Amino acid sequence: ANSSPQLAAARHEQVIHWCGSLRLAEPSLSEQLADARYESAILW
């Protein structure tokens, strides 16, 4: 599997969108989840 910069950027935008949607729903809980999700995205 090749991970191109474009693919990484698209994945990053998905994570940002996901975190943004969650933050609107549950502000306090989302910060912890957003951090965990963001770190897992970095590892990918």
Task: Say which residue, 4 or 43, is predicted with more confidence.
Answer: 4
Cβ atoms within 10 Å of 30's Cβ, excluding its own: 18
Residue 5 has pLDDT above 70, yes or no: yes
Residues 6+ away with beta carbon under 8 Å from 28: none
Residue 32 is predicted with a pLDDT of 72
pTM of the model: 0.34
Sole residue written with tokens 């729903």: 25
